[in-house]
Structure 1
Amino acid sequence: MAKLLLIAGILYLGWWLLLRPRPKAKSISEAEACDILGVSPTADAADVRAAHRRLVSAVHPDRGGSAGLTRRINAARDVLLRERS
């Protein structure tokens, strides 16, 4: 019986890690991304990268910052660089 419970637990853990449904990430608008990074809507890719680097260095989780805030800053960078490519 104990072996059966162990196998069921391992199968559940595998499902949870690999196959469980995950919530979709909320996309942000270009205007919201500009507000997050503190750049103008006409900023070029170099300005976006510089603002991203400045903000992430201050709020990165390795430096005691927030992982959620770092994700938002990365998402803002991705949106703005996608628009400028």
Structure 2
Amino acid sequence: MGKLLFFAAVLLGGWWLLRARPKPTLRLDEAEARAVLGVAADADAAAIRAAHRRLVGAVHPDRGGSADLTRRINAARDLLLRP
């Protein structure tokens, strides 16, 4: 029983350490963000949201796409829509 509890504690501790690691942040400038989303320099918020929705629908990991590409598209949207 003691070995089982020790093994469970080691697994829980390892999981806790892996869970606590911060995710790397993406550094995009405005021109890069617009290129990722495929919007013009004068695009309004509605056009940015529409481009984001279209792209994420196509490359979302639940649909067999890439998590990294989805993260990049989300970062571009966040950069362009921030106040």
TM-score category (smaller protein): 0.7 to 0.9
How far did 1:4 drift?
7.2
Aligned residue number for residue 14 of structure 1: 16
Instruction: State, as a whole percentage, how many aligned pairs show the same letter.
Output: 53
Aligned residue number for residue 48 of structure 1: 48
* TM-score where L is the length of structure 2: 0.79
Superposition pairs of residues 1-85 of structure 1, within 5 angstroms: 2=3, 5-6=6-7, 7-18=9-20, 21-82=21-82, 85=83
**Distance in 2 separating the partners of 1:62 and 1:15:** 26
RMSD (Å), alpha carbons:
2.0
* TM-score where L is the length of structure 1: 0.77
**Distance in 2 separating the partners of 1:38 and 1:46:** 13
**Distance in 2 separating the partners of 1:42 and 1:77:** 15
Gaps of 5+ in 2: none
Q: Which amino acid aligns with 1:63?
A: R
8 A Cα contact 2:26 2:72, kept in partner = no
- What is the number of residues matched between the two proteins? 81
Q: Which amino acid aligns with 2:80?
A: L
8 A Cα contact 2:39 2:48, kept in partner = yes
User: In structure 2, do the counterparts of structure 1 residues 8 and 67 end up closer, same or farther at CA, with 3 Å as the change threshold?
Assistant: closer
Gaps of 5+ in 1: none
**1:11-37 CA-partner distances (Å, limit 9, x unpaired):** 33323323xx43531221010000000
Q: Which amino acid aligns with 2:35?
A: D
**Distance in 2 separating the partners of 1:12 and 1:58:** 35
